[in-house]
Structure 1
Amino acid sequence: MWWLFRLPGFVYLALAPFVLAFAIYFFIDDQHKEAAKAAERAAKPPAEVTIEKFDAARNTNSAQEAVITGQVDLGSSYELSITKRGAETSHYVLAPIYATTAKDTNAPAIGVLMQEGRLDDEQIKAMAVDTGPAGLLMRIDGKVLSSSDVSGHDREFRDHVQVAPNAVYIDPFENGRGEGLAPSDTGRYAAIVIGVIALAMAAFGLFKHRRTRAERLEAAEAY
């Protein structure tokens, strides 16, 4: 890691504007997402739709919220624990979702319930509507996840369960949509931290550049 601090000054000066631009983009994107959540909190949730008829363009709102009904096979659920230095940093529960008309689980799942955190019995009862031949019929109000949200955390799950390539991933609002769409400062603070890093890189690069120049002048005067 120490080599990162030993690069020539011009490298830091060249990289700093790109890091700052990323921080600005991240900040603006986060503000747009927060504005979308605020607007949707004041509105009704999207109309309920069965997973076999789900269309992201029609059935999600600007906060990527959807209300999807499908058969969830909790017997094939998978718990993923991500650790760092022996300590758990995050935990996911994944379970396959099948069509409301599915008679069994032989076909690949067309959806995945992917919740960050634990999935307890009370939450399952709150989402349960009926029992079907392929799993528990559940009404899931949550955020439809993008591939970047999933972040490859489903790789082990896909080894465990057959999942359709275009499957819908949804993270339920485990404590209700009010909390699921609650404002968050995480993105804004992350953007500020990235911006501070960019400014620090520029300052460090300028310092190294001036020091190198001074050393060259001293060397030239010594001859």
Structure 2
Amino acid sequence: MDARRASDLSSVCVLSKQATEQSRTAVTTLKAQLEASRKAADVARAQVAQVKINLGFTVVRAPLAGVVIEKAAQVGEIVWPLSAGSDFIRSGIGTILDMDLLEIDVDVNEVYICHVKVNMPIEVVLTAYPDWRIPGHVVAIVPTEDKGKAAVKVRIALEQKDPRITSSMGTRVSFLKAEFAVASEAVSPSGVLLPSSTVVQGGQHRVVYRVQ
């Protein structure tokens, strides 16, 4: 406004041309200062963003939600992706177990593996909690066989998640399928059922009388 006013006054010879040029120069200088301030503000915002990124590097975040089952690094030790063979350098902080993916590996005798099916219901009993029965199901039958054990590995998934369950616990797995438990499978009796009162002892044999 001052530069425009000075130009108007100069046109009517009220203000000298020198004063008019000074006003125009001042306007140009202020515009340059404003542009420099804007660039400085952009630089400051970029620096703040970089500081936030650097601050984020000081926070250790797990790649997944789970339970820490092993602590590898201690306070004062260096953590580096590649182990340098030093006693004070660790390649990781710890081991995290995803409880949603917790599975049990069971060796099933090859004689009974034909009765095991994927999604077959099972029941798991932990050695530490013998009165706690946990439902589950068969996830997969691994298509390999342990020749030494004559057994096939079966993967079991638990349907209940609990912090009391750890990866090192002993388990006992029961397959809830009647035809799998061959030893306990009930066998239907053959022949004709008769009341015990109709059976009589005839010499060395037990006989019944049949009416013709």
| Higher-helix-fraction structure | 1
TM-score when normalising by structure 1: 0.20
Mark the structure with the bigger radius of gyration: 2
TM-score when normalising by structure 2: 0.20
Which one scores higher on RCO, CA 8 angstroms, separation ≥ 6? Answer: 1
